[in-house]
Structure 1
Amino acid sequence: MHFDLRDLELFVAVAEAGSIAKAAEHCHTVASAVSKRLSDLEGRYGTAFLARSSKGVAPTPAGLALLARARAVLYQAGQLDRELRGYSAGIRGQVRVFANISAIVEFLPAALASFLSAHPEIRVHLEEHVSGVVARAVAENLADLGIVSDIAGADGLIMIPFREDELVLIVQPGHPLASRERVDFREALGSDLVGLHSDSALHYRLLRAAADAGRPLNLKIQVTSFDAVCAMVAAGLGIGVVPRAATTPYTASLGLVPVGLNDDWAKRRLHLCVRSLEALSAAARLLLDHLAGATA
């Protein structure tokens, strides 16, 4: 191996700061030492990772590739450090879990409470992300296990059925569909829609449904969370599609009306996902088995 963690730390700091001097100050060292280490790193690999100019520095194409990997390596090294320190504090394992908002709000509170009650020596680090990000994090070993909806792009991951949730339409009380108990999604396509951002699994689901209906998807605004969808619908910017149970507190407090969807895709299956069962730590395997056993 032709580098150490300090090389990566300094390279990431320089790439993010756009300046060797600023990165040196941030890393509590001198600029000449930073410059020397990075020059030596470039020399060992025979390629430039930074393009230098009078305005500062910027990653080259090779530098961008190194930057992505270096961030992942440093993140994992930090996680390892925290986990090992946890052992000295009496914690016998830590599990990194990435999950979408539906799983976090609807299913994980009770499941994690019972798990941690049975295993108080284990610490769970939980982060909320959209399903696509969750799958990538598990594939890149940034998370031990994930919970995602039915998505493409999860090739290579082991998928274990977890739970089902229901997508509903949310509208203001005065909307023409507010008096209906259930509708076909095609009936909503004449209205402006508040949607999630383009990276989300739900965005692709709605695009496909609109294409199948031969109608355009009139996206008025795109946001990054389901509570934001509810807030925008309440502000009169359109209607939205959200998981029923995950957003009930928001829809109730904002006076919105949930309307059931007849479409088959409105019933979503959530999955647990891991890279490899064999590579899981003992703590992660315990949590996976607990969650898989808690399926309904």
Structure 2
Amino acid sequence: MKFDLRDLELFVAVADAGSIARAADRSHTVPSAVSKRISDLEERFGSVLIRRGAKGVELTAAGHALLVRARVLLHQAAQLDDEMRRHASGTRGYVRVFANISAIVEFLPGALASFAQGHADIHVHLEEHVSAAVAAAVADNTADLGIVSELPAIDGLDTIPFRRDDLALALRPDHPLARRTALRFADVLDQPLVGLHADSSLHRLLTHAAADLDTTLHWRVHVTSFDAACAMVAAGLGIAVVPRAAASPYIRSLRLVSVPLTDAWAQRQLFLCIRANAELHPAAKRLYDHLLAQGRSQDEQKQP
């Protein structure tokens, strides 16, 4: 390669700041040095990456393409640096886990805490992503293990059921439907909804369910987390479909009501996923076995 990571860092800084001067200030360097780095990148790639103007800079099509790849490379470089530092400090294992928000909020805190008690020499790097991105990360070896809320449409992955993640409605206690013991999704199609962002698996699930009922949903607002969704419900902006277990702390703290959904698709299953035909390294295998055992233990406790 005819460029280094510092070139990419400064290019990303310029893209984020929208200005060479602001990027230089944030990067603790001088604007002329940043400008030279960008010009060198453009010469090496044979493409114009930014267009300079009086009000700042604007990325070209080539610049947008580089920005996407540069972020990935810098992220992976940071992971590599962190992993090597942990090896140097005596940590014997490093496991990369990507999971969706439901798993991270409800199921992983306890599971990872108990794993850490018995494996102090293994570091677990955890990142939150939507299920599709989790599956893609496992498939391309960016992550060792993944937890998703839908079977991934990606070849080369093995999946195994992990935990149940049933959906429920979060409502204010003064809502007309709050006294119901259970509801169908069809019962709330006329209600304003608070939902997660459009890239989330939950948003896609609800959209498809509405399409099956030959209707569209009345989205009042989209947020990026379950606590934010519950806060919007508490403020009277609508109702929300949320994973019952993951959202229960927010429902309790905001004094909302949780009503189960009876639709078959609302009985969601979380899956552990790993690369098919690829042996897990020892640290990842220990965590994988631990998570499976945790899932089985919880299922046994729920049985009468």
Q: For this structure pair, what is the TM-score category when the shorter chain's length is used for normalisation?
A: 0.7 to 0.9
- Residue in structure 2 matched with residue 105 of structure 1 by the alignment: 105
- Residue in structure 1 matched with residue 268 of structure 2 by the alignment: 268
- Residue in structure 1 matched with residue 64 of structure 2 by the alignment: 64
- Residue in structure 1 matched with residue 121 of structure 2 by the alignment: 121
- Residue in structure 2 matched with residue 181 of structure 1 by the alignment: 181
- Residue in structure 2 matched with residue 165 of structure 1 by the alignment: 165
Is residue 156–residue 276 contact of structure 2 (8 Å, CA) maintained in 1?
no
Aligned partner of 2:228: which letter?
A
- Residue in structure 2 matched with residue 43 of structure 1 by the alignment: 43
With normalisation by structure 2, the TM-score equals: 0.86
CA shift digits 1:133-191 (9 cap, x unpaired):
43455456554432111166555544332211110112222333222212211011122
CA distance in 1, matches of 2:78, 2:198: 31
Query: The residue matched to 1:214 in structure 2 has which SS?
Result: coil
CA shift digits 1:68-124 (9 cap, x unpaired):
111111111111111111122222233232322321232212321222122101122
- Counterparts of 1:110-259 in structure 2 under 5 Å? 110-138=110-138, 142-150=142-150, 154=154, 157-259=157-259
CA distance in 1, matches of 2:267, 2:56: 52
Aligned partner of 1:150: which letter?
E
CA distance in 1, matches of 2:255, 2:30: 58
1:152/1:115 CA distance change after superposition, 3 Å? closer
Is residue 196–residue 225 contact of structure 2 (8 Å, CA) maintained in 1?
yes
CA distance in 2, matches of 1:274, 1:171: 37
Query: The residue matched to 1:217 in structure 2 has which SS?
Result: coil
With normalisation by structure 1, the TM-score equals: 0.88
- Residue in structure 2 matched with residue 294 of structure 1 by the alignment: 294
Is residue 194–residue 219 contact of structure 2 (8 Å, CA) maintained in 1?
yes
CA distance in 2, matches of 1:121, 1:275: 24
CA shift digits 1:174-223 (9 cap, x unpaired):
33322221221101112222211211111111111112122331222222
Aligned partner of 2:259: which letter?
V
Query: The residue matched to 2:295 in structure 1 has which SS?
Result: coil
- Residue in structure 1 matched with residue 11 of structure 2 by the alignment: 11
Q: Percent identity?
A: 61
CA distance in 2, matches of 1:289, 1:277: 17
Paired positions, count: 296
1:18/1:141 CA distance change after superposition, 3 Å? farther
Is residue 192–residue 239 contact of structure 1 (8 Å, CA) maintained in 2?
yes
Is residue 277–residue 285 contact of structure 1 (8 Å, CA) maintained in 2?
no
- Residue in structure 1 matched with residue 301 of structure 2 by the alignment: none
CA distance in 2, matches of 1:184, 1:19: 51
- State the Cα RMSD in Å: 2.5
Q: Report how far residue 61 of structure 1 moved.
A: 1.0
1:31/1:174 CA distance change after superposition, 3 Å? closer
Is residue 151–residue 201 contact of structure 1 (8 Å, CA) maintained in 2?
no
Unaligned 5+ segments in structure 2 are 297-304
Aligned partner of 1:24: which letter?
A
CA distance in 1, matches of 2:65, 2:261: 44
1:177/1:85 CA distance change after superposition, 3 Å? same
